[in-house]
Chain A
Amino acid sequence: MLPARAAILTLLLGAAAVAAPSQAETIRVTIDRLVYAPAEIQAKVGDEIEWINKDPLVHTATVKGGAEVLLPAKKSGRLLLQEPGSFDYICRYHPNMKGHITVRP
């Protein structure tokens, strides 16, 4: 009984250890009353950002000269991070909303 349980545990841990380094994550950013929270994000290539817009207003996450995610009122939107770098982003409709993403390779 006990050895069997230990074996299962080892197997599970082993699987987790193998999967973890390559697994892409989804990082959630909430928008509430015109604020991105958290405003600062650390991610790696392959991760996805999901913005959850709780405002009754349309927002965007717009990287200057780059990607733009439209975030309709009370809806969410996603962006797959494909390249490393350091990106400032704003809302196109409310440029006083500011966020930053650091993407590691």
Chain B
Amino acid sequence: MTIRLTTAATVIALLFGANGALGADKPTDPQIAHIAYTAGVIDIEAAKQAIATSKNKTVVEFAESMVRDHEAVNKQALDLVKKLNVTPEDNDTSKALSQAAETKRQELAKLSGAEFDKAYVENEVAYHKQVNGALETLLIPAAQNSDLKSLLETGLKLFEGHQQHAEHVAAELK
């Protein structure tokens, strides 16, 4: 619990903090594209871990829907950056997200059965909430290109759906 909260807090600080990795500057479109794409990849990796580990049908089905949706959206994102001739640019926020995800992955790897299921689904709720917060308050307002902004807005709607889906699964596990 403490580890999870600390990790989440670190990432949020990096995403929002004026003294964080992004500094006072807003992220540029190539950075935003990279952050959004990385956020999707992280959730796909987490879902694959769940599919390999969980024996719970509801959890596995949830994880499969995460892989399916995030792959579809990331494909759209790749098509868009190609169309716009933008090269996604790695940045400290993307790095912090990946690092936090790796810590989480290792933490979950130590669990199994109902303990794993609960921890995975709770993290999915927290993770989507965190990404939605970043989309709403930082990434969408900062996006310059209207196509990118529109894709991020659809992404927000989708991830809000995922958050609710994860909350339903979490309630079912209790």
Contact = CB atoms under 8 A, between A and B. Distances in A.
A4 to B, nearest CB: 58
Report the interface size class on chain B: 10 to 19
B157 A33 contact: yes
B90 to A, nearest CB: 26
Interface in B74-118: 75-76
Nearest to A32: B154
B80 to A, nearest CB: 12
Interface stretch (B16-24, B29-37, B44-52, B65-73): B65-73
* Dominant SS among interface residues on chain B: helix
B157 A56 contact: no
A56 B80 CA distance: 14
A67 B73 CA distance: 28
A69 interface: no
A58 B65 CA distance: 8
B66 to A, nearest CB: 9
Contact of A94 (B72, B75, B164): B164
Given A34-B158, A94-B158, A96-B157, A58 B164 contact: no
A53 B68 CA distance: 16
Contacts of A97: 161
Given A34-B154, A58-B65, A58-B68, A96 B160 contact: yes
Interface of B: 65, 68-69, 72-73, 75-76, 154, 157-158, 160-162, 164-165, 168
Given A56-B75, A57-B72, 18 more contacts: A33-B154, A34-B157, A34-B161, A35-B157, A56-B76, A57-B158, A58-B69, A93-B161, A93-B165, A94-B157, A94-B158, A94-B161, A94-B165, A95-B161, A95-B164, A96-B157, A96-B161, A96-B164
25 contacts: A33-B154, A33-B157, A34-B157, A56-B73, A56-B75, A57-B68, A57-B69, A57-B72, A57-B73, A58-B65, A58-B69, A73-B72, A92-B165, A93-B65, A93-B69, A93-B161, A93-B165, A94-B158, A94-B161, A94-B162, A94-B164, A94-B165, A95-B161, A95-B164, A96-B160
